[in-house]
Amino acid sequence: MAVQDVGRENAARALDRTRVDNARKNRKKIWLLWLLIGPGILVMLGENDAPSMLSYSATGSQFGIGFFLPFVLLTFAMAYIAQEITVRLGAVSKTGHAELIYRRFGRFWGNFAMLDLLFTNLLTLVTEFVGVVAGAGYFGIPAGWAVFGAIVLIGVSYTFRRYWTWERVVMILSLSNLVFIPIAIMAHPSWGAIGHSLITFGPLPGGWNSNTIIIMLSDIGATITPWMLFFQQGAVSDKGLSIKDLTHGRIDTALGAFLAAVAAMACIIATAPLYIHHMNASQFGTAQFAQALVPYVGHVGGALFALGILEAGLVAATAIATSSAYAYGEVRRQAHSLNRNFKEAKSFYAVLFAALVVTGGIVAIPHFPLEYVVLIVNVIAVLTMPPAIGFLLLLINDKEVVGEYRNTWFLNVLGIGVGVFVSLAGLLYAMTIIFPNWQL
């Protein structure tokens, strides 16, 4: 049975490769691009998850249009640097991230990477269901029913038994993240102020203090997190991308980073009226951002904002649960492919749904401190990122793993720069803990 299962998995992947090869042979460039994109768009728009959009909402309501617009662009540029490496690792090694760590650094570090990922993923999944509950709450849907409905919808997405079909469905759903663009337009922003801030990294109200640092870390954690590395490399491997597909993999990742950055900035712009009218985010719970925006974007804009938060949580919960299942299957040497059905990959789907049920159940607990969890999880994501960057750079410079596709000195400078930046951000956060009244 195991041999037959592997045969079916490889047959499904071979069918996808045949379509890719035919498109490349017949020079159907647009069709080829459509066949090969997916992991990059999914990982970037998936990272524009519920806590990320709520973090951007807090940013807009507390700081308006200014410093944080170009700062968010910078964080997505750093995310692209990290994710481009995962594309190369996946395409060259045809192996998931956790398995590659396990293979090159041994059982201890493989298990360490997996447990670290599962821990942060569980915390993050809690916040995704916070977003689902928040968005559904705007329409009067109780938390329990919102969580149940989300788990059912996510479960349906896995019934196709084909990675490619699952990817198309979730990717199209993820494009709903762009709903924040029309909301930003409805807020009637000053386009001159937006242009000025993008060029000058313009004003930072209140200067540098503990609150500014926490928001900054939250926005970094809204863009760069460990699960992204595990998901995209696992997806590239499951999709069957090869070395010949590296250019399209980079285009896929760059396109995802661009779309996600635009949606993130749109969210900041949409909530900037709350700052202009001195309505600080601390006055609002997760569901109340949409309600607070109604006077400035109308009832349609408020409803779209709530739907955007709900969609962000739903898509990210799907991707993050999948990344957990990929990592578990890779390290445990068990079946871990969406090209297999439930019977053929029991542990893969068991981990996936266990994570969803446990975290969804936590959010359904009455009086659970949702807002606090949303903020702290993004900060934890930043603090756990430096070791992940370290593993990533060691692997991409390992000649036995990637051969001629290892990093150049320039790419190493960029990669180390991302690691240093994230580490310094973590150090600044530590300073805010030690010196809570610190201000520059």
Backbone angles phi, psi at 373, to 5 degrees: -65, -40
Instruction: Compare 65 and 437 and report the one with higher pLDDT.
Output: 65
Asked if the structure places residue 440 within a domain, the reply is no
**340-364 pLDDT per residue, tens:** 877 888 888 998 899 999 998 888 8
Residue 363 CA: distances (Å) to CA of 55, 131, 368: 18, 10, 7
Backbone angles phi, psi at 26, to 5 degrees: -90, 5
Question: Which three-class secondary structure string do you get for 72-132?
Answer: HHHHHHHHHHHHHHHHHHHHHHCCCHHHHHHHHHCHHHHHHHHHHHHHHHHHHHHHHHHHH
Residue 305: pLDDT over 60? yes
427 and 280 in one domain? yes
CA 182 to chain CA mean position, Å: 22
- Number of other CB atoms surrounding residue 157 within 10 Å: 18
396 Cβ partners below 8 Å, 6+ apart?
A: 85, 88, 89, 402, 406, 407, 411, 415
- Domain of 332 in residue numbering reads as 37-434
Token duo for residue 97: 């991230």
Chain centroid to Cα 84, Å, comes to 14
145-167 residue pLDDT tens: 999 999 998 888 888 777 888 88
More confident residue, 8 or 138: 138
Per-residue pLDDT, 339: 78
> Residue 98 maps to which CATH number?
1.20.1740.10
Query: What's the pLDDT score for residue 369?
Result: 67
Give the list of residues 6+ apart from residue 193 with CB closer than 8 angstroms, or none.
65
What mean pLDDT comes out for the span 379-400?
A: 85
Angle, alpha carbons 322-179-164 (nearest 5°)? 35
**What does the pLDDT read at residue 3?**
43
**If you average pLDDT over every residue of the chain, what do you get?**
84
In a shared domain, residues 84 and 149 = yes
**Is residue 181 located within the same domain as residue 282?**
yes
Cβ neighbors of 75 (< 8 A, separation 6 or more) are: 219, 220, 222, 223, 224
Q: Are the C-beta atoms of 250 and 91 separated by less than 8 Å?
A: no
Q: Are 1 and 64 found together in one domain?
A: no
- How confident is residue 211, by pLDDT bands cut at 50, 70 and 90? confident
State yes or no: pLDDT of 378 exceeds 90. Answer: no
pLDDT-derived band at 133, boundaries 50, 70, 90? confident
Band of residue 283 on the pLDDT scale cut at 50, 70, 90? very low
Rg of the chain over all Cα atoms, to the nearest angstrom: 21
Q: Is residue 32 assigned to a domain?
A: no
Can you say whether residue 241 is alpha, beta or left, with left for phi > 0 and alpha for psi between -120 and 50 degrees? beta
Residue 434: is its pLDDT beyond 70?
A: no
Least confident range from 167-176, 227-236, 271-280: namely: 271-280
Q: What pLDDT, on a 0 to 100 scale, did the predictor assign at position 439?
A: 57
Q: What is the mean pLDDT of residues 24-49?
A: 89
- Per the structure, the count of domains in the chain is 2
pLDDT value for 2: 46
Same domain, 341 and 254: yes
Average of per-residue pLDDT across 17-42: 87
* The pLDDT of residue 433 is above 70: no
